[in-house]
Amino acid sequence: MAADYAYVGVFLIVGLLFVVVNIDVLSRLLRPSNPLPEKSKTYECGEDPIGISWIRVHIRYYLYALVYVIFAVETIYLIPWAVVFRELGLFAFVEMMLFIAILFVGFAYAWKKGALEWVA
Amino acid sequence: MEKTLERFYAAFAALGIPWIVPQLILMLVVASLVILFISVSVMFMIWWERKISAHIQVRYGPMRVGGWHGWAQSLADGIKLLIKEDVIPAGADKLVFALAPMVVFAAALAAYVIIPFGPNLIVRDLNIGVLFYISISSLTVVGIIMAGWSSNNKYSVLGALRSAAQAVSYEVPLVVSILGVIMTVGSLSMIQIVEAQQRIWFVIPQFAGFLIYLTAALAECNRLPFDIPEAESELVAGFHVEYSGMRFAIFFLAEYANMFTVAAIATTLFLGGWHGPLLPPWLWFLIKTYFIIFVMMWLRWTLARLRVDQLMNLGWKVLLPLAFLNMGITGVVLVLRG
Cβ B66 vs Cβ B72: under 8 Å: yes
Residue A23 within a domain: yes
Question: Is pLDDT larger for residue B277 or for residue A46?
Answer: B277
CA distance B88 to B241: 11
- B311 and B228 in contact (C-beta within 8 Å)? yes
User: A25 lies in a domain?
Assistant: yes
- Split at pLDDT 50, 70, 90, the class of B311 is confident
Q: Are A17 and B106 in contact (CB under 8 A)?
A: no
Structural domains of chain A, count: 1
Q: What residues of chain B, 251 to 310, have a C-beta less than 8 Å from chain A? A: 308-309
pLDDT of residue B293: 92
Contact B246 A27 (CB under 8 A): yes
pLDDT tens, residue by residue, B4-42: 777 777 787 788 777 778 888 888 888 899 999 999 999
In a domain? residue A118: no
Close Cβ partners of A101 (under 8 Å, ≥ 6 residues apart): none
Residue B310, phi then psi, degrees to nearest 5 = -65, -40
Is residue A120 in a domain? no
Alpha carbon distances (Å) from B49 to B125, B140, B218, B238, B294: 31, 22, 15, 21, 8
For residue B153, give the nearest of A43, A64, A100 by CB distance. A43
ipTM at complex level: 0.85
For B77-82, what is the mean pLDDT? 88
Percent pLDDT > 90 in chain B is 17
Is residue B260 over pLDDT 90?
yes
- A98, closest residue in chain B (CA to CA): B328
How would residue B164 be classed by pLDDT, with cut points 50, 70 and 90? confident
Confidence at residue B264, expressed as pLDDT on a 0 to 100 scale: 92
Q: How far apart are CA B132 and CA B129, in angstroms?
A: 5
Q: Is the CB of B131 less than 8 angstroms away from the CB of A15? A: no
If pLDDT is split at 50, 70 and 90, which confidence band does B265 have?
very high
* DSSP-derived 3-state class of residue B72: coil
Lowest mean pLDDT among A44-48, A83-87, B66-70, B255-259: A44-48
Does the CB of B241 have a partner CB in chain A at under 8 Å?
yes
Instruction: Give me the pLDDT at residue A1, please.
Output: 64
- What is the residue extent of each domain of chain B? 1-78, 84-337
Average pLDDT, chain B: 86
Question: For A38-64, what is the mean pLDDT?
Answer: 79
At B169, the pLDDT band (50, 70, 90 cuts) reads: confident
Question: Which residues on chain A are in Cβ contact (under 8 Å) with B312?
Answer: 64, 116, 118
Q: State how far the Cα of A41 lies from the Cα of A36, in Å rounded to an integer.
A: 9
Contact (Cβ atoms closer than 8 angstroms) between residue B260 and residue B293: yes
B residues 38-67 closer than 8 Å to A (CB): none
Q: What is the pLDDT of residues B174-209, one digit of tens each?
A: 989 998 899 888 888 888 888 888 888 888 888 889
List chain A residues with CB under 8 Å of B22.
none
What integer pLDDT is reported at residue B93 of this predicted model? Answer: 85
Amino acid present at B324: F
Full 3-state SS string of B136-205: HHHHHHHHHHHHHHHCCCHHHHHHHHHHHHHHHHHHHHHHHHHHHHHHHHCCCCHHHHHHCCCCCCCCCC
Please give the pLDDT value at position B232: 67
| Residue A62 belongs to some domain of the structure | yes
Count the neighbouring beta carbons within 10 Å of the beta carbon of residue B325.
13
Amino acid B26: pLDDT: 84
**Residue numbers in B near A75 (CB within 8 A):** 172, 175-176
Binary contact (B86, A33; C-beta < 8 A): yes
| Distance, CA of A98 to CA of A92 (rounded, Å) | 10
Residue B297 has pLDDT above 70, yes or no: yes
Q: Model's pTM, two decimal places?
A: 0.89
CA distance B262 to B252: 15
Mean pLDDT of the region B131-149: 88
Most confident of B56-70, B125-139, B143-157, B284-298: B284-298
Interatomic CA distance for residues B141 and A72, integer angstroms: 15
Distances (CA, A) of B115 to B32, B42, B48, B110, B177: 16, 16, 22, 10, 19
Q: Is the pLDDT of residue A3 over 80?
A: no
CB atoms within 10 A of CB A31: 18
For residue A74, what is the domain's CATH number?
1.20.58.1610
Say if CB B181 and CB B209 are below 8 A apart.
Answer: yes
d(CA B78, CA B85): 14
**Best mutation target, A16, A19, A69, A87, to test chain B (most B CBs within 10 A):** A19
What average pLDDT does range B310-337 have in this prediction?
88
Among candidate residues B92, B119, B112, B103, the one with its CA nearest the CA of residue B30: B112
Nearest alpha-carbon partner for B131 in A45, A96, A33, A82: A82
Residue A120's pLDDT is: 58
Mind giving me the DSSP string for B293-318? HHHHHHHHTTSPPPPHHHHHHIIIII
Average pLDDT value for residue range B308-325: 87
Average pLDDT over residues B115-143: 86
Q: What is the mean pLDDT of chain A?
A: 84
